[in-house]
C-alpha cells in the first residue's frame, strides 16, 4: 500500500532557529495536512493545503508557521523561530480530493521535533 513518508524522523534544534519538516505525500493525493502531538497530549490539526494554497488552519498555526509545496512531490512545514513549546511530534497526512474520500487521511510516521 502506498504510504506517506517524512524526514527527518527526529530533529533537534536550538530555540530561535528555523526548522523545515519534510513530507512526501501519496503521489495521487491532492490534499495535504500537518498535525502535531505534544508529548502526552492529543493530536491537533494545524493546517490543510490544496491547490497550492492553505485550505484551512487552526489557531495554533500562527505567523511563525508556513507550508509549501516546493515541487511536485514534497510538502514542507517551516517553523520560523522555534520555541520550547514547539517540541512535539509532527505528522503529515494526505488524502484524495474527492469530497467523500478526502476524509480518509493517510498519515506519515511523524517527525519528532525537540527544541532546546
Partner 1 sequence: AQSVTQPDIHITVSEGASLELRCNYSYGATPYLFWYVQSPGQGLQLLLKYFSGDTLVQGIKGFEAEFKRSQSSFNLRKPSVHWSDAAEYFCAVGLYNNNDMRFGAGTRLTVKP
Residue numbers of the site for partner 1 (CB under 8 A)?
4, 6, 31, 33, 35, 41-45, 48, 50, 55-56, 58, 91, 93, 99-100, 102-110
Smallest gap from residue 111 Cβ to partner 1 (A):
10
Closer by beta carbon to partner 1, 17 or else 35: 35
- Residue pair 2/24 in contact (Cβ under 8 Å)? The answer is no
Shortest distance, position 44 Cβ to partner 1, whole Å: 7
Closest distance to partner 1 from the beta carbon of 19 (Å): 19
What is the C-alpha separation between 1 and 16, in angstroms, rounded?
38
Amino acid at each position: 500500500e502506498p504510504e506517506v513518508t517524512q524526514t527527518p524522523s527526529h530533529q533537534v534544534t536550538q530555540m530561535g532557529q528555523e526548522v523545515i519538516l519534510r513530507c512526501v505525500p501519496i503521489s495521487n493525493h491532492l490534499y495535504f495536512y500537518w498535525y502535531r502531538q505534544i508529548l502526552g497530549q492529543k493530536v491537533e490539526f494545524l493546517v490543510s493545503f490544496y491547490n497550492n494554497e492553505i485550505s484551512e488552519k487552526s489557531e495554533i498555526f500562527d505567523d511563525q508557521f508556513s507550508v509549501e509545496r516546493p515541487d511536485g512531490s514534497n510538502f514542507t512545514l517551516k517553523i520560523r523561530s522555534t520555541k520550547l513549546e514547539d517540541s512535539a511530534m509532527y505528522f503529515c497526512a494526505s488524502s484524495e480530493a474527492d469530497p467523500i474520500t478526502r476524509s480518509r487521511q493517510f498519515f506519515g510516521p511523524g517527525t519528532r521535533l525537540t527544541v532546546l
